Structure 1
Amino acid sequence: MLLLLWHDTLGIGGVGREVYVLYRHWYELLALGTFPVGDVTWQYPPGAGLVLLAPGAVPWLTYYQAFVALTLLADAVVAVALARAGRTGSSAGAWLWTGALPLLLHLPLARYDVQVTAFAVLALLALGARRPRARLGGALAGLGAMVKVWPLLTLLGTPRGPATRRAWTSAAVAAGALLGVMVLSFAHPLDFLRQQGDRGVQIESLGGSALSLARLLAGWPGAVEYRYGAFELTGPYVSSVARLALLLTAAALCWLLVWRLRSRRWNAATPLDAGLAAVLLFTVTSRVISPQYMVWLLGLAAVCLTSRHTTQRPVALLLLPAAALSSLAYPGLYDEVINVTPTGVAVVALRNALLLAATVLSCRRLWRATA
C-alpha cells in the first residue's frame, strides 16, 4: 500500500492529491482558526477539523507524510484492538482487517476514513465486550459522529434498558462537549450544513448505476459533471432518483426502528451485527458511495467476526469481492467509469449488486437471530 502511494500512478493516478492539495488547504484555514466558508467540498462535521489539524503535531514531517503516518497509526490501533478482542472470541476479525484493507490498494492511506473507522470499531468492541462498557462505547461513538456522522449508527444495537440510556447519554455528552469546544475555538464550524442539500447522484451510487445502465441500454441523455467534490450525473430524472434515494434512507431508518421494537433476543454479538447492518443500509441507499466507504464496512465486518456468535460471516465474505471491485473501479478503471463505458458501468454495477446483496443478507440474518 505504501509503495503504491509512493508512486501513485495506478489507473487514473493522483489518489494522494486529496491529502496534499485539499486536506492541506483545509489545514491552513483551520490553523488560522476558521473552517472553510462557502466551500462546496467541505461537507464534514466540526470534529473532522481536528483530524485534519493532527498532522501539524508532527512538525519534522511534511503534512502529507504526517497524515499517512497518523493513518497507519490508526490502522495499527484497530488491528491491535481486534486482535485483543480475538483472545476471548475469534481472531477472524483481526485477519479480515489486516488482509482485506489492502484490497482497497493505497486509497485508505490517502483518506481520513481509517481514523473514523477506528472510533466506530473501538465503540463496538466496548459495547460488545464480555463486560460491556456502555459509557465508553457511547462516548467513542459520539466523538466519531462529530468527525463523520455514521459512527453514531453503532449505538443502534445496544440492549434495551440501562445500557442504551448510558450509551446514548455518553454519546450526547461527548459530542456536545466537542461541538462546544469547536464552536468556541473556530469560526464557521457549522458551515458544512449548507453544502449537503444540493448534492446530486454520484456516478458510483446505486442510483448512479441505474442511470448509467439506462444511458447504455436505453439512450438516456444525461451527462457526467464534477460537482460538490465528486463526479455526478446530470440530466432528466436525476432529481427523481436523488429523492428516491432519500426516501429509501428514511425507509431504512424506519426498518431499524421496527427491528429494535420487535427484537427480543440479545447476545454479545447483537450490537456488532446491528452496527454493520445499519451502516450497510445507509450506504446502499445513499446518493453517494465513495470508494473509501468500503473502509467503514470492512472495519465493522471485522468487529463482527471477533464474536463467535455473530450472524454476519456470509456478509463479511461478500464484502471482500466488493472491496476488490471498488479498487478496480477507482483508481484502476476510473476513466472508464467517468466516461460511462460498458466496462466501467459493469464493474461499478457488480460492486453495487454485491453491496445490495450483503445488505439484504445482513438485515435478514439480524432479524432472524433477534426478532
Structure 2
Amino acid sequence: MTLDTRPSIPAPVFATWVRPGPLARAALPATWLATRTAMVALLLWDGLGTRGVTREVAGLYTHWYGILARGTFPAGDPLWQYPPGAGPVLLAPGLLPWLTYVHAFVALTLAADALVTFALARGGREPRGAWLWVAGLPLLLHIPLARFDVQATALAVLALLATARSPRAAGVLAALGTLVKVWPALTLLGTPRGRSAREAWTAAVVSGAALLLALAFAFDAPLSFLGGQSGRGVQIESLGGTALMIARHFGWPGRVRYRYGAFEVVGPYAELVAAGALALTVVAFGVLLWWRTRARAWSEATPYDAALCAVLMFTVTSRVISPQYLVWLLGLAAVCLTSRYTTQARVAPLILAAAGLSSLGYPVLYADVLAGTWTGCAVTGARNALLLGAVFVSFRSLRKGTGE
C-alpha cells in the first residue's frame, strides 16, 4: 500500500468557491444562521407537530420517549426499527426539561448540525466541505430538524475526520453511530490497511460491545428492532417502488399500503422486487470487499471516498429511500470535499440535485407520489436516477483513485 498524493480535479461547480479568509470565515456562520432560521420557520409554519413533517417527532418520538423513560425499548411496536443506540438519542431532549419535547429535540438537532459545521470547517483543509453541508442541508427543507439523522451523521462525520489522527477515536465514534443508525459502520471501510485498520476496528468492536452491554443492562428488549426490519416491503420512493408505481400506469394491479411507518407497494411481484433489493445489497457488499482487497494506493481522502461510495450503494439498493437518507449523503460528501485529494468531487453535485428533488417529492408533491401520478413518478424517478448515476460515478472514481 502506498500513500497517493495526486490531487483529483474538482468539479467545475466547486471550482470558484472562496478559499479560507476572514470574509469566508464570517460568511459561513452567517449563512448557517440564516438558513437554519429559515428551516425553523418552516417548522413553525408546519405546525410543530399538528401536521406534516413534524408529526412524527411530536407523536411517535414523544410516545417512544415515554416508553424509553420507563427502561424498556418499544418491543412489539412495528414502527420501532432502530438499533438500541437510538434510545439515548430519543431520551436526550429530556435533558432540557424547560422545553417541550419537540422544542428540545429541534434544539439538540440544531446543536448537532452546528457541531458538524464546526468540525468540517476546522477539521478539513478545504472550505468547500463545510459550505456543501451548510448550503446543502436546507435543500431538504425542515425534514432534517424533525428526524435524528443529523445526530447519526454527526457521529459519522467526526469518525471520518478522526481517522488520520486517531484511528481508535474513529472506531469508537463509528461504533456509536452504528448503534444509532447502523450505516456509520461503513465509515471504517476505507481505513488504511495495517495498524490503522486494526486499531480502528478493535476500538469499534470493543466500544460497541461495551455500549450494547450497558444498554442491555439499562433497558429491556434492546434487540427488538430486528423484527421490524425483517418484515419491511418495497417503499414507494425506492428504486423498485418507483418502477412498480410506473408499472401501475401500464396495468399492473398493485396498490399502496401503509406498513412499518412507510407507504409500501404491495401486489404481484412486489415480494420478488423486495428480495431483489436485498440481493443487490449483498452484491454491493461483495463489490466493496472486492475493491478493498484490490486497492493499491491510499490517499488522505480514501476513507472519506470509500464511506460515501458504500453508503450510496446501500442507499440505492435499499427497499426504502426516505428523504432523510440524503442527510447522510450530504454529510459524507461534505467530508470528502474537505480534502483536495478526494475522488468524489463530481459526485457531490449529483447528491445536491437529488436532495432538492427529494424534498420536492416529500413534502411538496407527496400527494402525487402517493397517488402514483406521472408527476410523482417523474420526481422520484429523477431523484433515484441521480442517485444511481452517483453510485457508478463514485465507484469508478474510487477505483481509479486507489489504483485498482
Q: Deviations over 1:112-148 (max 9, x none)?
A: 0000000000000011x4xx31000011001100001
2:153 aligned residue (106, 111, 117) = 117
2:366: which partner in 1?
334
Q: Distance in 2 between matches of 1:250 and 1:109?
A: 32
| Equivalent pairs, count | 364
Q: Is the 8 A contact 1:269 1:307 kept in 2?
A: yes
Q: Equivalent residue of 1:117, what SS?
A: helix
What are the equivalent positions in structure 2 for 1:333-352 lying under 5 Å apart? 333-352=365-384
1:267: which partner in 2?
299
1:55 is aligned to 2:88: no
1:21 aligned residue (53, 59, 62) = 59
1:353: which partner in 2?
385
Q: Is the 8 A contact 2:175 2:205 kept in 1?
A: yes
Q: Equivalent residue of 1:231, what SS?
A: strand
1:95 is aligned to 2:131: yes
TM-superposed deviation, 1:176: 0.7
Q: Equivalent residue of 2:217, what SS?
A: helix
Q: Distance in 1 between matches of 2:71 and 2:231?
A: 27
1:209: which partner in 2?
242
Q: Distance in 2 between matches of 1:100 and 1:126?
A: 23
Q: Distance in 1 between matches of 2:191 and 2:123?
A: 18
Q: Distance in 2 between matches of 1:269 and 1:93?
A: 12
TM-superposed deviation, 1:13: 5.2
Q: Equivalent residue of 2:191, what SS?
A: coil
Q: Deviations over 1:49-88 (max 9, x none)?
A: 00000000100100000000000000000000000023xx
What are the equivalent positions in structure 2 for 1:220-369 lying under 5 Å apart? 220-369=252-401
Single out whichever of 205-214 and 75-84 deviates more from structure 2. Answer: 205-214
Q: Equivalent residue of 1:224, what SS?
A: strand
Q: Distance in 1 between matches of 2:47 and 2:329?
A: 26
Q: Deviations over 1:13-66 (max 9, x none)?
A: 510111110000000000011110211100000000000000001001000000
Q: Is the 8 A contact 2:136 2:330 kept in 1?
A: yes
Q: Is the 8 A contact 1:334 1:344 kept in 2?
A: yes
Q: Distance in 2 between matches of 1:279 and 1:322?
A: 15
Q: Distance in 2 between matches of 1:28 and 1:182?
A: 17
Q: Which runs of 5+ in 2 are unaligned?
A: 1-38
Q: Distance in 2 between matches of 1:178 and 1:22?
A: 25
Amino acid at match of 2:331: G
What are the equivalent positions in structure 2 for 1:14-163 lying under 5 Å apart? 14-86=52-124, 89-127=125-163, 129=164, 132-163=165-196
Q: Distance in 2 between matches of 1:126 and 1:33?
A: 33
2:43: which partner in 1?
5
Q: Equivalent residue of 1:196, what SS?
A: helix
Q: Is the 8 A contact 2:300 2:341 kept in 1?
A: yes
2:198 aligned residue (165, 174, 180) = 165
Q: Distance in 1 between matches of 2:184 and 2:178?
A: 5
TM-score by length of 2: 0.89
Amino acid at match of 1:368: K
Amino acid at match of 1:212: M
Q: Is the 8 A contact 1:20 1:63 kept in 2?
A: yes
2:207: which partner in 1?
174
1:199 is aligned to 2:237: no
Q: Is the 8 A contact 1:13 1:331 kept in 2?
A: no
Q: Distance in 1 between matches of 2:263 and 2:173?
A: 32
Q: Equivalent residue of 1:233, what SS?
A: strand
Amino acid at match of 2:144: P
TM-superposed deviation, 1:366: 0.1
Q: Equivalent residue of 2:347, what SS?
A: helix
Amino acid at match of 1:350: A
Q: Distance in 2 between matches of 1:222 and 1:160?
A: 48
Q: Is the 8 A contact 2:47 2:54 kept in 1?
A: no
Q: Is the 8 A contact 1:45 1:149 kept in 2?
A: yes
Q: Is the 8 A contact 1:280 1:359 kept in 2?
A: yes
Q: Distance in 1 between matches of 2:142 and 2:166?
A: 34
| Structure 1 ranges of 4+ moved more than 4 A | none
Q: Distance in 2 between matches of 1:369 and 1:7?
A: 46
Q: Is the 8 A contact 1:114 1:295 kept in 2?
A: yes
Q: Is the 8 A contact 1:319 1:358 kept in 2?
A: yes
